[in-house]
Amino acid sequence: IRWTEGRGWHDAELVPYAPLSMDPANMTLHYAQTIFEGLKAYEQPDGTVATFRPEANAERFRSSARRMGMPELPADLFVAACDALISQDRAWVPSGGETSLYLRPFMFASEVGLGVRPANEYLFMVIASPAGAYFPRGVKPVSVWLSEEYVRACPGGTGAAKTGGNYAASLAAQAQAAEQGCDQVVWLDALERRWIEEMGGMNLYFVHGDRIVTPELSGSLLPGITRASLLRIAEDLGHPVSEGRISVEDWKNGNADGSLTEVFACGTAAVITPVGSVKSARASWTVADGEPGEVTMKLRKALLDIQTGAAPDTHGWMHRVG
Ligand code: PMP
């Protein structure tokens, strides 16, 4: 779907996957006006296909567009574009278990020019790829590197938008995490380097026995749709659940005195991943016994059961395609 200043959204079309040709002065290549989303379509027990909360992705996409000075795609067009792509070939959606079709809607400036200003032309597209189960051989906890040198996003910046620049800014820290033998990077706040924000590509949850806390939306972390869904599911399952500020000391001390029983990360790709160990320039520790916790696994099953149709969709989150 194209957008042109003065004309709005036009020329929606479904075309075979192919390379794009691009002018060297395409504004996106220089000024990075680019946003994207990620969501999944799951086969349901009756053989139909349903996407998980596409309206929530459409809403976040609009909010990312506002922050990046881009036009807002109406939610119904966003959802219809995803539906049209999935419906093109039902055989794309893998059958069974946690397998899914991962959808990647995105938008970028398509205008040619060297002036620094919001572009007057954009292209919105959706591509897709079948995704297997994230943990085909059983859920495995990840090790995380607390990044104190680099920050992902700062107050007033673009951290709450799903824009390419945030990911570009994260790559050096992710490489540092790998050098330290860790799977993932965990981001701290920009000002004090003290408050836990999120993990690379996933939000975090801290479990204290029955009680569950997730870092509050500070404006510089991505408001994950999995995060928001788990706030509701945890409540459904009777857990006292809240959003709040969690510091590195809270994490370390909670671990040392045993009050922090589990930590997990959540996002569209892996749904829920336990965090097994933590390392920073100054300290390292194992989270509880380093194994996937009971609450983590219970929440993971509850969410996956809704997505795969094994449990009733009490919140009206599944969008039937076609
Ligand atoms: N934080 C970041 C930086 C992400 O890229 C993602 C993945 N979209 C998330 C959190 C989790 O968001 P969601 O649950 O919507 O996938």
Q: What angle do CA 230, 232, 233 make, to 5 degrees?
A: 60
Q: pLDDT tens across 33-71, in order?
A: 999 999 999 999 999 999 999 999 999 999 999 999 999
Q: How far is the CA of 55 from the centre of ligand 1 (A)?
A: 15
Looking at residue 63, what is its pLDDT?
98
Q: How far is the CA of 5 from the centre of ligand 1 (A)?
A: 30
Closest CA to 200 of 221, 219, 180, 216: 221
> Which numbered atom of ligand 1 lies nearest the CA of 37?
8
Domain 2-133 has CATH 3.30.470.10: yes
Nearest CA to ligand 1 atom 12: 224
- By most ligand atoms within 8 Å of CB, the mutation choice from 52, 158, 203 for ligand 1 is 203
Does ligand 1 come within 6 angstroms of the Cβ of 37? no
* Residue 135 predicted with pLDDT over 90: no
Looking at residue 97, what is its pLDDT?
81
Please report which confidence band the pLDDT of residue 136 belongs to, taking 50, 70 and 90 as the band edges: confident
All structural domains of the chain with their residue ranges: 2-133, 142-308
Q: How far is the CA of 119 from the centre of ligand 1 (A)?
A: 26
**Terminal C-alpha separation, the chain:** 20
> Which numbered atom of ligand 1 lies nearest the CA of 228?
14
Q: pLDDT tens across 244-270, in order?
A: 999 999 999 999 999 999 999 999 999
In this structure, what token pair is assigned to residue 193? 């380097």
CA distance 120 to 3: 8
Looking at residue 241, what is its pLDDT?
98
Asked whether the CA dihedral 235, 240, 244, 246 is positive or negative, the reply is: negative
* Residue 211 predicted with pLDDT over 90: yes
Looking at residue 12, what is its pLDDT?
97
> Which numbered atom of ligand 1 lies nearest the CA of 226?
14
Q: Which residue has the higher pLDDT, 97 or 278?
A: 278
Looking at residue 276, what is its pLDDT?
96
> Which numbered atom of ligand 1 lies nearest the CA of 166?
3
Contact, 265 vs 184, CB < 8 A? yes
Does ligand 1 come within 6 angstroms of the Cβ of 224? yes
ipTM for this prediction: 0.99
Q: How far is the CA of 161 from the centre of ligand 1 (A)?
A: 10
Does ligand 1 come within 6 angstroms of the Cβ of 54? no
Topology (CATH) of 142-308: D-amino Acid Aminotransferase; Chain A, domain 2 (3.20.10)
Looking at residue 176, what is its pLDDT?
96
Looking at residue 292, what is its pLDDT?
95
CB atoms under 10 Å from CB of 40, counted, come to 22
Looking at residue 121, what is its pLDDT?
98
Q: pLDDT tens across 138-151, in order?
A: 889 999 999 999 99
Q: How far is the CA of 184 from the centre of ligand 1 (A)?
A: 14
> Which numbered atom of ligand 1 lies nearest the CA of 200?
3
- By most ligand atoms within 8 Å of CB, the mutation choice from 268, 271, 304 for ligand 1 is 268
Q: pLDDT tens across 155-198, in order?
A: 999 999 999 999 999 999 999 999 999 999 999 999 999 999 99
Looking at residue 56, what is its pLDDT?
98
Q: How far is the CA of 302 from the centre of ligand 1 (A)?
A: 19
Q: Where are the beta strands (DSSP E) in the chain?
A: 2-4, 8-10, 34-36, 39-43, 49-52, 100-109, 121-131, 142-147, 184-188, 196-199, 203-208, 211-215, 241-244, 262-267, 271-279, 284-286, 318-321
Does ligand 1 come within 6 angstroms of the Cβ of 110? no
* Residue 322 predicted with pLDDT over 80: no
- By most ligand atoms within 8 Å of CB, the mutation choice from 64, 222, 227, 304 for ligand 1 is 222
Q: pLDDT tens across 84-127, in order?
A: 999 998 888 999 888 999 999 999 999 999 999 999 999 999 99
* Residue 72 predicted with pLDDT over 80: yes
CA distance 198 to 193: 13
User: Can you spell out the DSSP letters for 280-291?
Assistant: -SS-EEESTTSS
Looking at residue 266, what is its pLDDT?
98
* Residue 20 predicted with pLDDT over 90: yes
